[in-house]
Amino acid sequence: MKIVKIGGSVITDKGKYRTPREEVMESISKLLGEYPGRMALVHGAGSFGHEKALEFGLDVPGSISGKAAEISVVINDVMSLNSMFSEHLIRNGFRGVSIPPHAIYGSNGLDLSPVTYLLNYSFSPILFGDIIMKDGKYRIISGDELCKALAEKIRPDEVIMVTDVDGIYTSDPKEFSNARLLKKVKASELSLEGKGKDATGSMMGKVENIKTMLPFTNRVKVINGNYPDRLRKALLDEDVIGTVVF
């Protein structure tokens, strides 16, 4: 059993509001459609979530009152992305069924029983970065945090996180030319400084979530989704360029 998270930076153009990258969605969907093993799939929000979340100040958890209109906009946008990506996936033979996280979150937190229910029928549940609400308060839940919650529930062999850089570097490779790719690293030795630029902490947020997943899985791989062959190799447990956290 694997958990695969496809980052919003891969399936959307994160710099342009509500802009999907349909060709990448298609090539990733082909690979996932061909994969015969059991999987829970998660995707990020990219430009369908972060831009408005930051503009509306929703990156800071708070009271729903006065923010309901903005929350509705962002939830509608991430559900649109989910619908677009699911179209590609299902057309390519992926037996996926979407589970919107806001719909399974209640007074006891996330209820992941629909996930195990679908897995038992050989479907792949599809979850995504979203906004959840409880006791009059809202907060963003990232796809990375959902991977942790899923890992705790379904105990996968591994979690594969697909993003738009080759893996975890010593610093942001888009800003620092001397950034070095970490190929294999112990979770306890992993720490990145800074806050990250998007609503959920970009790679810094991912690293914090990866650390919390490790008790529930053997390893977490971080790979670049702009090279679909790397995802194919990662799914087949072949050597691949990227970071393995164990």
How far is CA 76 from each of CA 4, 59, 100, 102, 133, rounded to the nearest angstrom? 23, 17, 11, 11, 15
Asked if 200 is part of the footprint of ligand ATP (rule: CB under 6 A), the reply reads: yes
DSSP class per residue in 14-32: TTSTT-B-HHHHHHHHHHH
- In the bound complex, what is the minimum distance in angstroms from residue 174's beta carbon to ligand ATP? 4
Estimate to the nearest angstrom the gap between the alpha carbon of 218 and the chain centroid.
18
Q: Which two tokens stand for residue 128?
A: 């995504």
Asked if 225 is part of the footprint of ligand IP8 (rule: CB under 6 A), the reply reads: no
The angle at the Cα of 138, spanning 134 to 144, to the nearest 5 degrees, equals 100
Q: Of 144, 158, 166, 208, which lies in the binding site for ligand IP8, with binding defined by CB under 6 A?
A: 144
Asked if 29 is part of the footprint of ligand ATP (rule: CB under 6 A), the reply reads: no
Asked if 53 is part of the footprint of ligand IP8 (rule: CB under 6 A), the reply reads: yes
Estimate to the nearest angstrom the gap between the alpha carbon of 36 and the chain centroid.
21
Asked if 198 is part of the footprint of ligand ATP (rule: CB under 6 A), the reply reads: yes
Contact set for ligand ATP, span 68-87 (CB under 6 A): none
Q: Of 141, 203, 235, 245, which lies in the binding site for ligand ATP, with binding defined by CB under 6 A?
A: 203
Q: Of 3, 25, 74, 132, which lies in the binding site for ligand IP8, with binding defined by CB under 6 A?
A: 74
Q: Residues 190-209: x/- map of binding to ligand IP8 (CB under 6 A)?
A: ---------xx---------
- In the bound complex, what is the minimum distance in angstroms from residue 121's beta carbon to ligand IP8? 26
Q: Of 30, 50, 148, 221, which lies in the binding site for ligand IP8, with binding defined by CB under 6 A?
A: 50
Residue 194: CA count within 13 A, CB half-sphere: 12
How far is CA 178 from each of CA 141, 164, 173, 175, 216, rounded to the nearest angstrom? 32, 18, 8, 9, 33
Number of residues that bind ligand IP8 (CB under 6 A): 17
Contact set with ligand IP8 (CB under 6 A) = 8, 44-45, 49-50, 53, 74, 78, 129-131, 140, 142-144, 199-200
